[in-house]
Chains A and B, each alone.
Chain A
Amino acid sequence: MAQAIFDEMGAPGSDVRLAYRTLQTWLDETPLEILTLRREEAETFFRRIGITFAVYGEGGDPERIIPFDIIPRILEAAEWRQISDGLIQRVRALNAFIADIYGKQEILQAGIVPRDNVLLNDTYRYQMQGVAVPHNVYTHIAGIDMVRVGPEEFYVLEDNCRTPSGVSYMLENREITMRLFPDLFSRYNVAPVDHYCDDLMRTLTSVAPRNCPGEPTVVVLTPGIYNSAYYEHSFLADQMGVELVEGPDLYVMDDVVYMRTTQGPKRVDVIYRRVDDDFLDPLTFKADSALGVAGLMNAYRAGNVNLTNAVGAGIADDKAIYTYVPKMVEFYLGEKPILKNVPTWRCGEKDDAAYVLEHLAELVVKEVHGSGGYGMLVGPKAAKEELELFGARVKACPEKYIAQPTLALSTCPTFVNEGVAPRHVDLRPFILSGKEIKVVPGGLTRVAMREGSLVVNSSQGGGTKDTWVLKD
């Protein structure tokens, strides 16, 4: 793995890379005051529309804006083609894996994935065993987190197969960039992303349950306004022209799901749920959940409603399972994986654990079930006490941790207080699987706004960028 940091615009002193040349010219022409002004405009726009990220219970402003960096990230058509092919392949394999786990479990029988890793996993849902889902699709909306370390080198950092969020930022970021910089935008031939919601709607209707009586009624199920991604839930429902429902709006009678409307009950066929498995049905999962619908699982099993993403899809995005994804591609598709995994040590395995403990200061150590950048150690940035503390935790409970080398994440020009400077980025493209698989060209680029920082999570002060994929 290359250790020198790859800058997507081109390292200082070297040539500006092809895709960025027009941007460079434009940056040279545009005074910093104009950029500052545009950044303020963007912030006003986000506030006024209410595009916020809700963080309740931490003090401070409960509805925060994710910092938006006004300088777009640019990917060449050829670069994107490779990513896109790899994503489709990977998501096909992930879906095949989940279907297999809740079906015949051939991959366990073949000994490719250890049985305990799956069946004793917190994300495994035995309630799904033997349940048929339309078209065998489990992760209808997947977000695959990728990082880049060189011109040709992309790695998958993490698969998100449950309820990946961020797509509304991808769409709103494009809106705002086109509004703020029409001149720059028109100098490029950028592949559009705004058909995402149409594709999503088509994906959802294509997976109507087998007992659906006609044109399927689709709804988006949200935990409510205090959820951090509430804006996105309402945005997607609005763009698709479907109802945004909360648990109490739905009820189940004779294994059929209805919503309460001003004209009486209305049957619901497909639920794009943004509520976690545990809260979906108090009769099956957490009994005290007020976010779900009693009896939903029975309706689901009876084939009277479909849930996207499927219950139990999380088994494929667990960090302990992640390491086996390339093998899944070979096992289910008989193909060579196009996208690479980051080399990963599983602390649950003795040799790996020994290596990790010895090299803590060089590695990134993550909790297998953690997310959002919480419960994570970045070895090279950690103080001595922190290393010792984490080492003790790994020793105490090794199977809870995995470790990866600290990657030299690529950087992109970013407008920060000091001016335009390189900052580390990652990329989350969104893959839709229904009757067919679709990927919109682009995704959500997250950027660590602090110099040298590698943590791009919005809960940790990361920002976002518009991501341009150029057309040939």
Chain B
Amino acid sequence: MLSRTADSLFWIARYMERAENLARTLRVTDRLSLMPSTAEADGSEWHSTVVVSGCEEGFYEKHEEATPENVISYLAFDPENPSSIRACIETARRNARAVRTALTTEQWECLNAAWLALPGWNEARVRGSGLHRFLDWVKDCSLLFTGGTVATMLRRDSYYFTRLGTFIERSDNTARILDVKYHVLLPEHAEVGGGIDYYQWASILRAVSGYRSYNAVYREGLKPWLIAEFLIMREEMPRSLISCSAEIKECLDKLAEEYGQRHECHRIAGQNYSRLRFGKVEDVFRQGLHEFLSEHIEQNDRLGVEISRSYLM
């Protein structure tokens, strides 16, 4: 297939996944800000959301303060923010239009419908309870796209490039959610297990749809190191780093099988996976969770670049 087509498929999936993760993060932030026990946190959850989405620089160039209105406007609708939900959906749909023939009807119609409905959402409409309707809608669009991909796309190169986009993006997003929350929400002297802490850790889990799953797996209450283990090393958790790594490795293996050739990206993917598969969570904490996650994000970026070098240009 054309390199440009593969590149577009990869990025359509990345942008849809990014939109979904932004929606999840905004939703959790909003929920957190409603907790009376966090009133003294000065809205720091809105600031941390800006950080988690990697938009700190751009945001503070435009806004002085991370008020709920400013953050929602910037992360959801701002056309100048290339990672806003609107920009993600528009970019995904523009890419989709350029490679329509490589998409299934279901995928195209989902992206096209999302794009057609987009102008109906704006700052005014998401005030109050509108916000949740909007975020649910974004999540639905992404889930429909991902589900449509799995259910309708032929299992060959185009499918694996699409899936690679999803998992590279998800791996990055999960690591960021865990990293930033860890730093922002767990100041050195905070009492672990207090009311604020509990909701904040719970919010991390909710951001990755893992709150109920966590309880099903551990049954011993929320514990930071278990939550970290859950999101880093548990393969049964579909948004964990190891799950993403396993999927990435699998997709790349399938491509190597189809094309009869392996590249540098295969080596990095194997290395990433082994580190998670055979590492121990104690070592992660010994190294420092933040250091570990930063390294993961960096490795993940490198992998993305290598995939692009091998196939997409």
Contact = CB atoms under 8 A, between A and B. Distances in A.
A245 interface: yes
Interface in A208-251: 224-225, 230, 234, 237-238, 243-246, 248-249
B39 interface: no
B97 A262 contact: no
Q: Choose among A49, A230, A245, A261 the residue with the greatest number of B CB atoms under 10 Å from its CB.
A: A261
B223 interface: no
B313 A260 contact: yes
B97 A261 contact: no
A265 B23 CA distance: 40
Interface-central residue, A224, A246, A248, A260, by most chain B CB under 10 Å: A260
B108 A261 contact: no
Nearest to A241: B101
B311 A47 contact: no
Contacts of B259: 262-263
Contacts, number: 51
A262 B3 contact: yes
A238 B101 contact: yes
Contacts of A248: 4
Given A47-B116, A48-B109, A262-B312, A234 B1 contact: no
Nearest to A240: B101
B250 interface: no
Interface residues of A, number: 21
Contact of B98 (A224, A260, A261): A224
A50 B101 contact: no
Nearest to A239: B101
Contacts of B261: 263
The listed residue with most A CB atoms (<10 A of its CB), out of B100, B109, B161, B311, is B100
Interface string B109-134: 10011001000000000000000000
Contacts of A246: 4
Interface residues of B, number: 25
A238 B313 contact: no
Given A50-B97, A225-B94, A238-B100, A245 B2 contact: yes
A262 B2 CA distance: 6
Contacts of A262: 1-3, 6, 157, 161, 255, 259, 311-312
A456 interface: no
Contacts of B4: 246, 248-249, 260
A60 to B, nearest CB: 13
B9 to A, nearest CB: 10
A259 interface: yes
B101 A261 contact: no
B108 A50 contact: yes
B3 A50 contact: no
Contact of B112 (A50, A230, A237, A260): A50
Contacts of A234: 97, 100-101
B312 to A, nearest CB: 7
Nearest to A220: B101
Contacts of B255: 262
B309 to A, nearest CB: 12
Interface string A31-56: 00000000000000001111000000
B2 A261 contact: yes
A237 B3 CA distance: 17
| Interface of A: prevailing SS | mixed
Given A50-B108, A225-B94, A260 B101 contact: no
A263 B4 CA distance: 12
Contacts of B100: 50, 234, 238
A221 to B, nearest CB: 12
Contacts of B6: 262
Contacts of B5: 243
Interface in B1-58: 1-6
A405 B161 CA distance: 58
Contacts of A261: 1-3
Nearest to A244: B101
Contact of A249 (B2, B112, B157): B2
Contacts of A224: 98
B235 to A, nearest CB: 28
A247 to B, nearest CB: 11
A423 B5 CA distance: 43
B97 A249 contact: no
Given A246-B4, A249-B4, A262-B1, A237 B113 contact: no
A57 to B, nearest CB: 17
B1 A48 contact: no
B155 to A, nearest CB: 15
A48 B2 contact: no
Contacts of A50: 97, 100, 108, 112
A260 B7 CA distance: 12
A261 B102 CA distance: 14
The interface centre, meaning the residue of A243, A260, A261, A262 with most chain B CB atoms within 10 A of its CB, is A262
Contacts of B101: 234, 237-238, 244
Contacts of B157: 262
A64 to B, nearest CB: 13
Nearest to A266: B2
Chain A to chain B: the 6 pairs with minimum beta-carbon distance, closest first:
A238-B101, A262-B311, A260-B3, A234-B100, A262-B6, A225-B97
27 contacts: A47-B116, A48-B109, A50-B100, A50-B108, A225-B98, A230-B97, A234-B100, A234-B101, A237-B101, A238-B100, A238-B101, A243-B1, A243-B5, A244-B101, A245-B2, A246-B4, A249-B3, A259-B2, A260-B2, A260-B4, A260-B313, A261-B1, A262-B3, A262-B161, A262-B259, A262-B311, A262-B312
Interface of B: 1-6, 94, 97-101, 108-109, 112-113, 116, 157, 161, 255, 259, 261, 311-313
Interface of A: 47-50, 224-225, 230, 234, 237-238, 243-246, 248-249, 259-263
Given A243-B2, A246-B4, 20 more contacts: A47-B116, A48-B112, A48-B113, A50-B97, A50-B108, A50-B112, A224-B98, A225-B94, A230-B97, A234-B100, A243-B1, A244-B101, A249-B3, A259-B2, A260-B3, A262-B1, A262-B161, A262-B259, A262-B312, A263-B261
